[in-house]
Amino acid sequence: MAAAVAPRERGWPRALSPWEPRRTPREWVVDSALFVAALLAWYFYGFASASYFGEVSDWFWPVDRTLGLGACLLLWWTRRYPRAVALIMVVPGSLSITAGFAALATVFRLGMLARPRSSVAITVLHIACALPYHWLFPLPGMPLEVWLVTIPLLYLLVLSFGLLARSRRQVIEGLRASAARDRERYEERLSTTRRDERERIAREMHDVLAHRVSLLSVHAGALEYRTDPVRTGTAAPTSQEIHTAALVIRENAHRAVEELSELLTVLREDEAPPGTDRPQPRLRDIPQLVAEAREAGESVDIHMDVPRDGLRESMQRTAYRTVQEGLTNARKHAPHASVRVLVEERDEAIRVEVENAVAVGLTSAEIPGGGRGLVGLAERVRLEGGRMEAAVRDGRFQLTVVLPAGLR
């Protein structure tokens, strides 16, 4: 039981401490200035100009000054307990002229820190208790009618300033909260954009390297086959054929390294300098892609009938990547099969088909490859608002992509 009570006992001094809650340097300056101003007003009305208030009895001045000093000290608690201090301040505010400034300062703090409804109610109580003072100790040179008008106006004016300060603080806090939310949303969008960009670069890296490496594999395999005439029973290649094959391998390896370097540069740099982006593939680059495949020994039949201008850049890039993925899959999984490529405009859409014979033993339930290449291509097509089908029908693998032919 003693252990349970001890924390509460230790909490009481802290709860009643005038140094709580912890103040910022600005708040210390404001509170100190308010306390000093209240002390100056207490000294001025209680000592320097006490003779002016002749109606106040000599025996009451010690009570007045004590209440006024207590009211000045209570100002240190107005930041933490504005309503409680304002209620306590009703007594010195209604009986002590030296507590007048402290009472008004408390009402100001009440309007600034407490709820408006309670602030108005406590201020009305202050006014009601302060009005009878003129009957007890009439102020010289002030008629009763002026007193009855001045006191309510003075308290309501101070309360209005407090409410205005409260509204201003709420507006500032709202703006800060809104700025914090906007910053969080911006950071979230930035993170999402960076993640999407990295995913895009990963797809580009897969498409580019898979194409180049498959070409390297084909040429290297052919060179290995031709340079072993004893096992293969073929004529040995001439030095010119070896040189040509090595040249093709070197060029494709060089292109693969260059394209990988460009992609890694974009991935590492947050902001690339203007004009450093590598040209993106378009529909007009598809014939060159087919030519490279033919040089690698693939049998490719292509038919293109689409407009070359006015189509979205992203749509053209997706169509190019579709043909590239189809040729790469055919090269990897059906190296000696003929490939048919169709790119045409049909029903206000761009239709891309890549079809090739599949390896012996592959069923219609299986898709050649089916790895990251087709998954990444499906994501590209989805972002373009199109649809993709990849299936084996009648012994042939068909990759079909339909893209909406919208203008840029």
pLDDT in tens, 106-141: 999 999 999 999 999 999 999 999 999 888 888 877
State residue 7's pLDDT score. Answer: 44
State residue 362's pLDDT score. Answer: 54
> What mean pLDDT comes out for the span 143-162?
92
List the single range of 83-92, 122-131, 250-259, 330-339 with lowest mean pLDDT: 250-259
The count of residues in the chain is 408
> What mean pLDDT comes out for the span 224-247?
66
Number of Cβ atoms within 10 Å of the Cβ of 105: 23
> What mean pLDDT comes out for the span 38-60?
88
pLDDT at residue 238 is higher than 90: no
CA distance 209 to 358: 23
State residue 317's pLDDT score. Answer: 85
CA distance 356 to 396: 5
State residue 233's pLDDT score. Answer: 59
Contact (Cβ atoms closer than 8 angstroms) between residue 357 and residue 338:
yes
> What mean pLDDT comes out for the span 265-287?
64
> What mean pLDDT comes out for the span 170-178?
90
> What mean pLDDT comes out for the span 140-168?
91
Spell out the domains of the chain, with CATH numbers in brackets: 18-142 (no CATH), 300-408 (3.30.565.10)
pLDDT at residue 364 is higher than 50: no
- Enter the tokens of residue 109: 């703090």
The model's confidence at residue 253, banded by pLDDT at 50, 70 and 90, is confident
